[in-house]
Amino acid sequence: MIITIDGPSGSGKTTLAIKIAKHLNFFCLNSGYLYRGLAYVLKTVYGYNAQTIQHPDINHVVAIFHSDQFRYVYESGIVKIYWGVEITMFLKDPEISKFAATVGQDSATRLVLRQYEKFLVVGKDCVIEGRACGSVIYPEADIKFYITATQEIRALRLQQDQLKRGKTLSLIEALGQIKTRDDMDMGRLIEPLVCPEGATILDSTAATTDDLLKIALDVIRQSLHR
């Protein structure tokens, strides 16, 4: 079974996906971490900057995902990315976030990522979350969710997340970053963020993750009993 969760930055996709995966004992694929991992390696290993990351050499992208150095690991509700050693702790850095958003607009890069994502879930029951999972990567998914929240709430979550990482971000700065990311995700010509056809819409603005989990599990149970 394939379950997809799409939605904008800060909507709560990752937390909900992991909770569903743990409850059902499914594999969980966080597509955003793949883009962040790619951005990190392109920047630190291949020397890409804010300009060159806009059009990465596709040979570099292919080499990274064909390398034994790059690994995506999901175990017991925890996602880890490795480039030889674990690099997960660096992937929420604001600069890496910007690089990931930029590289995600390159059509050739997205094609390579799509193939890698499908490779990771072959033969698995999986919850896959990101920004084009139910609309592009798995339009044939058994169950689709689209999770959203107001920009203000998502900005507050971003601010709190960065504070946990020792970085100070004003609410105005956080809101600016959320709005910029939304514009990039929804306005890109290649695979823009949309609500997939047939998706159940979940609003996390005032709901807890446990509230959303209950709704999602009810939808899944109803689907299984049709």
**Per residue of the chain (226 residues), what is the pLDDT tens digit?**
999 999 999 999 999 999 999 999 999 999 999 999 999 999 999 999 999 999 999 999 999 999 999 999 999 889 999 999 999 999 989 899 999 989 999 999 999 999 999 999 999 999 999 988 999 999 999 999 999 999 999 999 999 988 988 889 999 999 999 999 999 889 888 889 999 999 999 999 999 999 999 999 999 999 887 6
Burial 173-200 (b: 16+ CB within 10 A, else e): ebbebbeebbebbeebeebebbbbeebb
**Is 224 part of a structural domain of the chain?**
no
What's the structural domain count of the chain? 1
- Assess contact for 145 and 203: CB atoms under 8 A: no
How far is it, in rounded angstroms, from Cα 139 to Cα 137?
6
Any idea what the CATH number is for the domain that residue 183 is in? 3.40.50.300
Q: In this predicted structure, what is the pLDDT of residue 226?
A: 67
Place of tokens 């996390």: 204
**Is 134 part of a structural domain of the chain?**
yes
**Is 104 part of a structural domain of the chain?**
yes
Q: In this predicted structure, what is the pLDDT of residue 202?
A: 97
DSSP annotation of 198 reads T
**Is 93 part of a structural domain of the chain?**
yes
**Is 194 part of a structural domain of the chain?**
yes
Cβ-proximal residues to 109 (8 Å cutoff; 6+ apart), any chain: 38, 56, 58, 61, 103
**Is 122 part of a structural domain of the chain?**
yes
In 3D space, the residue among 53, 131, 55 whose CA is nearest the CA of residue 45 turns out to be 53
**Is 203 part of a structural domain of the chain?**
yes
211 lies in which domain range?
A: 2-215
**Is 206 part of a structural domain of the chain?**
yes
